[in-house]
Structure 1
Amino acid sequence: MKQTKPETLLPISVVAARSGLSVSAVRFYEERGLVSSRQRVAGRRVYGRSVLRRLAFIAAAQKVGLSIAEIQAAMNQLPAERAPSPKEWGQLSEPWKARIDQRISELEELRRSLEDCIGCGCLSMSSCGILNPQDEAAAQGPGARWRMPPEPTPPGAGESESAGNPSEVL
């Protein structure tokens, strides 16, 4: 007959250190039902080793951009008493790939916009894809519509010094 050894229980301080989180973050996730302690030993929380995988999953989900509520809904689909299998993790994270692909697409578009503007110096409010996408300012009439905020005037500087501040005029 094969004997199973008892699961190693970890105090919250060890869970926090191994997961790279603070003790208060582990408690926060427990309050939200994302992880659970097994019992209390001498009044202190202890966790099964599987909590480390759950915390790693939470961190990955947050990097994807999921909210705590979305993570909680996902975690509710997983077994609480053991670490999920790679297949279970894969099924759960599959829908997130579209979200990552969307973010990649947005960042690539931002890169293209920046590449068009680097070194341009045109200050064209009618064609600038960053400051005036789709020529939104055209409906307001000719000329510049937005300006950079003025630089702060150093204490004691006279009005004549700030009158020619180039950031006030485009």
Structure 2
Amino acid sequence: MPRLDPADIGRPLSVGEVAQRSGVAVSALHFYEARGLIHSVRNEGNQRRYARDVLRRVAVIKVAQRIGISLEDIGAALAALPEGRTPNARDWTRLSKNWQQELDARIAHLQALRDQLDDCIGCGCLSLGACKLRNPLDSLSEEGPGPRRILSE
């Protein structure tokens, strides 16, 4: 990739340039914009143009999605950042600390799920021999549909 000319530092980026620099498809950028996660302005030719701080916002979105944070939660976190300012290290620290508790709970749930994979899932099938002991008379159906033992924990 050619080195950036210092004169271009303030130049807004096209959607294609943002896609190339961020590693995100143009369609994903349009989706993020429709969800209010990023913003653009239109030039005289009605083409989207993005400030360079959008690259950091897209990076935050990508990392947060990668660790399983919902777009709704990402949007709420980004909405708390000052508009027009590039998210900085302090912002990222605050965002990531807010997500750590959720991630810890998800990790604990996944570990419990892993440890229970060879046990009854409480599906209500009544076809396994162990179900007479684990789910007699389909009593778990009173708790709701689906695999109750695993979903309830």
What is the TM-score when the length of structure 1 is the normalising length? 0.62
Identity score, percent: 38
Does the alignment pair 1:13 with 2:12?
Answer: no
1:1-170 maps to which residues of 2 (within 5 A)?
7-40=10-43, 42-114=45-117, 117=118, 129-132=119-122, 135-140=133-138
Aligned mates of 1:13, 1:90 — CA distance in 2? 29
Summarize deviations over 1:81-129 as a string: whole Å, max 9, x none.
1211100111122121011111111222223234xx3xxxxxxxxxxx2
Name the larger-Rg structure. Answer: 1
Deviation at 1:5, TM superposition (A): 7.8
C-alpha separation in 2, matches of 1:17 and 1:50: 15
Residue pair 1:64, 1:99 contacting (<8 A) in 2 also: no
CA-atom RMSD in angstroms = 2.7
Asked whether the 8 Å contact 2:120–2:134 carries over to 1, the reply is: no
Provide the aligned length of Structure 1 versus Structure 2.
125
Deviation of residue 64 (structure 1)? 3.2
* Structure 2 stretches lacking a partner, 5+ long: 1-6, 123-129, 140-153
- Rounded to whole Å, the distance in 2 between the matches of 1:28 and 1:87 is 27
Q: More helix by proportion, 1 or 2?
A: 2
